[in-house]
Every structure is written in C-alpha cells, then in structure tokens.
Structure 1
Amino acid sequence: MELREIEIFLMLAEELHFGRTAERMRVTPARVSQVIKKQERAIGAELFKRTSRSVQLTPAGIVLRDGLAAGYQQIKEALASAVAVGRGITGELNVAYSAAWCGILVVAATDIFRARQPNCLVRIHESPLLDPIGPLRDGTYDIQLVELPIDEPDIVNGPVLFSEPRALVVPVGHPFARRGTVSLEDLSEAPLITVTGQPQYFLDHHYPHRTPEGRLIPRGPSTTAWQEVLALVGAGKGVSPTCARAAQYYSRPDVVYVPFSDAPLVEYGLLWTAANSTPKVQAFIETLLETARSSDLAGL
C-alpha cells in the first residue's frame, strides 16, 4: 500500500464521506473509490459499509485504521524531521522580546514552531533596556521583537507586527493623574524620566527634547531598567512616556497611566542581523508573522 493510498484511507475513515475526502485530498471521488476497492481486494475484506445515506467502517476497517494511524504519524514526523535537517532547522534559536505583551506573542509563536520543528530548541529571553542591539550583534539573540525605530546598517528590520497607543505614567498625586488624557504639549510641565543605552535617534523619538510647538521638555533622572523608571515616577521624580498597555502589566499603587490624546503610536517590529538570516531564523519569522496575523492582538 503506497503512502498516498494510506492517506486516502485514513481521510475517508475520518470523514466517512467520499466527496469530502476527495475534496480534502484534492482528488476525484472516483479516485477515492478506486483506492478503497484496491485495498479491499488486497485484504480480502470490506473496509467500509456503503449505503445511499452513510459510510461506516467495518470491523476490518477499524483494525486497519487503528493500525495505520500510529505508523502514519511516525512517518510524517520522520519526514518533517528530515526536511528540517535538510533546511538547517536544527540546534538552538534564541528569541528576545522587549515588553510583556510582545512576550505573549513570542510564546504563542514558539509553541507552534516547536510542534513543527521538533529538532530546533527555542529559548525565549527578555531583552534589556541597556544595549538592546548588542546581544543581536554578538549572537546571544537570533531574533528580537522590540519597539521601533531601529536603523542600523547591520540589522535587518522586519515588518511591523502591531502598533499600540501611548500613555504617560505619572505619580498618583500629580495633577495629570486626574485627567482623562494628556497631550505632547503637557510634557513641558514635568521632568521627563528617560532611559539610557539605546541609539540616540531612538531616544529622541520616544523622549523628545521639545514639544511640537517648540517648548522645552525638562529632563529628570535617567535609568537603564523599566522597574527603576516606575520607582522614580512613583517617588515623584518626574513622568515618563510608555505604551498604554503597560497599565495592564505594570500596575502600581503609586503611579497612574494617562493616555495621550495626540502622540503617535508605538510600533513593534522584528530585528535580526543580516549575517544571521539562516533558514531557521526565517522559519521562525514566518511562524511569528502567521501567529500575529491570526491572533487577537487587542487581547494580548
């Protein structure tokens, strides 16, 4: 019995309908019937009871189905493993993310990827605020899902996976905390707590020095860790812009997240090095894109 014939038999055993089996196997109903009759002649017994209203497995058919199903799954897994080895999708893949909501998407994609590529071990990491590009360059990470913009000659910018509205995290007793929204012009009225370690163009994009109307934005303390940013805000040392979704993941009794009414969205995209565009990197990127398209990102 050829592999294709096994697949047709198992599909008919699942569907119990010649037309649907033919459609799923992309053959004609006559071809399905021909294959089943050939198998029945070889075995010397009926595999299916056919009437004008239904198709049912016979006792012989049940035995054949149960015996073939486990072996067929092993064949599929062996073929998938061989293809993965042939494409170089083996070994270890290190994927990093910058924020909790990015991590949820990475974990979902990893579950799918591991099922498809069992010979490739995926390790997930949280990307540091300090020197986020360094681990890509030195090979510690293969792929990162991070806030944009990143514009480096040796770093490949993949597609933007999703965008999020911005908010301003402020001390709970600050006048801004009682507002429904804040504007970019309001940044001139409180010290701005910033982070260090990123490229200057990244910092200028997320932590501007002037408002759209040209008013100076005062500087507060700077740090290299997000939890330290929250601690400084909670202590009344200033305010800091962030993604509005942070309120769901990083709530504290001493801070409030106030949405911006006029700030641009925060974009999140994939990064990897041009020198590391391997088959396994590209395979994971394809899986992540597929996961992002099928996910309800609003519910992350």
Structure 2
Amino acid sequence: MELRQLEAFVAVAGELHFGRAAEKLRIGQPTLSDLIRRLEREVGAPLLTRTTRRVALTQAGVELFGRARAILEDVEGAAAAIRRLADGDAGTVRLGITPPAAPVLAPHLADALHRVAPEVDLAVRRMWLPDLQRAIGEGALDIAITCGPVTDPPGILSEVFCAEPVMIALRDGHPLADRETLDLADLATETLGMHSEALFPAWSLALQEVLDDAGIRPPSVEFADTDLSAYRWPAQTEIDWVLTTAAVAGVSAGVVLRPLSPARYLPYTLQWCPIRATAAAVGRFVHLALSVDVPPGWVSQPDHLRHTGSG
C-alpha cells in the first residue's frame, strides 16, 4: 500500500466525484482510477460503488476513509516537523554559561530566541569555566558563553560579540562616592575586594585583564562572601572598593555604583563547533546571538554582525 494510493482514495472519498478528485490531485482520471483499483486489490475489498450518476463509499470504504486521513495527517505532521528541524525552527540547543552571563545576557538571548523560534528548546546550564571548556571540547554542549579571555579547544570557533560596562562599587561614605564617574587610577592605592579565582575563574580573569589594561595593581583582599555578587563585602572593613558590573552587583544598601571614565568593558565570548552541530537550531541560535541587539547599556564587539567599530 502506497501513500499516493491513500491520497487518491481520500480525495475521491471526500469529493465523491472522480473528476473533482483528479483536479484536486492534479492527475488524470485514468491514473486516479488505476490507483483506486490497485488499493482495492491490496485491501481485498471494494471501497467505492460507482454508477454513471454517483460515487458512494462501501462499508469497507467508510472504515478506511477515517484511518487513511489519520495516516496522511500523521505523515504531513512528521514532514512538517522535519522541515522545522531542518530550518532551525525546532530542536534543542544545549547552552552552557558561566555565572556572570546568568543575570542579563542568557535571559536576553533566550527571550530573543523565543520570539523568532518558540519551538526551539534552549537547555541552559550554569557551569564553572573549566567544566564549560571541557564540555564544549567534548561535544557535551552545543554552545558555550563566558566572559573574558578563553582558549579555543581544537575545532572550536570563538566569537567575542558583546561587552558589559565595568563599574566601581564604593561605600556611600567613601570620599569619591559623590563623583559621577571614576578613573581606575583614582583607586590604585586603595584595597580592592576580589573573588577567589578558584570559585569564579572566568570572572576573575576578565577583571584582572581590565586592571592590566588600566596599568594598575592595587592591593587586594579576597572576599569572605562566596556569592558572585559579594553583596556582603561592606562588612569587610579592609576592603575599600570593588570592581563589578551593574548586573552582578545588583542593589545593596549603603553601596553606590559608579561608571568608569574612560569606560571599560567586560567582553563575552561565544564558542561553538559548526561541524559538530547536529541541529540547524544551533546555527540559528549562533546567528541570532551575533546579530540581535545587545542588552541595554551594553556594547557590541568585533565579532557581532552589527558592530560599528565603537565601544
């Protein structure tokens, strides 16, 4: 039994007219009649009664009509699902992120993906940098996003596509707290609070690069707090200031955030392996991440498809 035989039968059973059914299928009436006869031979029973004036379903035809329609609908649904997968409109994307990407960037990209491809399942995992890089290298992830400088495992492409402004956090009673902007050099001799590199390697490396680019090496003390926001840092009296971002710092009582002048940014890198991607949705997500507007207040970076060279 062939699908085209079922299609022919359903067309005739629906129209109860060979001429109209043939036009609907865009085939000749002799071909249509032959398909019906072959189907009747295969099922071993007449499906239609024909006279010069009318076409009617037999009892066997009534039974097959409902089943045949269901079969054709299932086939059409399966074909549509395959087309959606092939076009990147459906499927699963396994995304790994380090903690700094969690507050703003990951939700921003997830919302953008849902708007254009609501049937794509974005499975997001928060991971430490060593685990993230191992997973993307081994193929346990489709895409990895982290902040700061990263190495490229074999076969992995890296795209530095957006960046978040770096801010300085001060107690509201600090002598510099009233300034609208701050230069890192203004705090070069004051004690900086820093995360443990073992706890937040990607974040720590990225902020160290900001300090290196500014040419300063302030004295530093490790946070007692193990949360990325380190919101309890004001209780550590030996700490004078913190290098952070608005998304990570959040709002803390008695603390003010000030932008840097000149502005400095925390870059984010997307990594993926095109030849290993098993779903078109992976490529679609990568293209979206590299072309959608960056979060408000952020700037694009050189690998963003709409980067203009500023920022």
TM-score of the aligned structures, taking structure 2 as reference length: 0.55
Shift of 1:82: 1.4
- Could you tell me whether the CA contact under 8 Å between 1:130 and 1:225 is conserved in 2? no
User: Moved runs in structure 1, 4+ residues, more than 6 A?
Assistant: 74-77, 87-90
Q: Structure 1's 224 and 87: CA in aligned 2 closer, same or farther, altered over 3 A?
A: farther
Q: Counterpart of 2:144 in structure 1: which amino acid?
A: Q
| Aligned counterparts of 2:171 and 2:191: Cα–Cα separation in 1 | 12
- Could you tell me whether the CA contact under 8 Å between 2:103 and 2:247 is conserved in 1? no
2:242 counterpart residue number: 240
- Could you tell me whether the CA contact under 8 Å between 1:188 and 1:211 is conserved in 2? no
Q: Counterpart of 1:105 in structure 2: which amino acid?
A: H
2:222 counterpart residue number: 221
Shift of 1:168: 0.7
| Aligned counterparts of 2:168 and 2:297: Cα–Cα separation in 1 | 20
1:267 counterpart residue number: 267
2:145 counterpart residue number: 145
Is 1:108 aligned to 2:111, yes or no?
yes
| Aligned counterparts of 1:299 and 1:188: Cα–Cα separation in 2 | 25
Aligned length: 219
Shift of 1:149: 2.4
3-state SS, counterpart of residue 82 of structure 1: helix
- Could you tell me whether the CA contact under 8 Å between 1:176 and 1:258 is conserved in 2? no
| Aligned counterparts of 2:95 and 2:252: Cα–Cα separation in 1 | 28
| Aligned counterparts of 1:225 and 1:156: Cα–Cα separation in 2 | 31
Answer with 80-89 or 145-154: which moved more: 80-89
Shift of 1:111: 0.9
Q: Which runs of 5+ in 1 are unaligned?
A: 1-38, 44-73
3-state SS, counterpart of residue 189 of structure 1: coil
| Aligned counterparts of 1:193 and 1:131: Cα–Cα separation in 2 | 25
Offset from partner CA, 1:54-79 (integer Å, 9 cap, x none): xxxxxxxxxxxxxxxxxxxx999654
Q: Counterpart of 2:208 in structure 1: which amino acid?
A: D
Please tell me the root mean square deviation across aligned C-alpha atoms, in Å: 4.0
Q: Greater Rg, structure 1 or structure 2?
A: 2
Offset from partner CA, 1:199-253 (integer Å, 9 cap, x none): 6864531454x953xx5410111576413x2322454434221224556xx1111
Shift of 1:174: 2.4
Q: Structure 1's 263 and 275: CA in aligned 2 closer, same or farther, altered over 3 A?
A: same
| Aligned counterparts of 2:217 and 2:285: Cα–Cα separation in 1 | 44
- Could you tell me whether the CA contact under 8 Å between 1:147 and 1:268 is conserved in 2? yes
- Could you tell me whether the CA contact under 8 Å between 1:89 and 1:279 is conserved in 2? no
| Aligned counterparts of 1:211 and 1:287: Cα–Cα separation in 2 | 33
Offset from partner CA, 1:70-104 (integer Å, 9 cap, x none): xxxx9996544213555898764222441422023
Answer with 150-159 or 167-176: which moved more: 150-159
Q: Counterpart of 1:187 in structure 2: which amino acid?
A: L
Offset from partner CA, 1:109-167 (integer Å, 9 cap, x none): 3314643xx3x53212344478653443455543233323223344421241x333221
Shift of 1:298: 4.1
Is 1:167 aligned to 2:178, yes or no?
no
Between the aligned residues of both structures, percent identity stands at 20
- Could you tell me whether the CA contact under 8 Å between 2:164 and 2:297 is conserved in 1? no
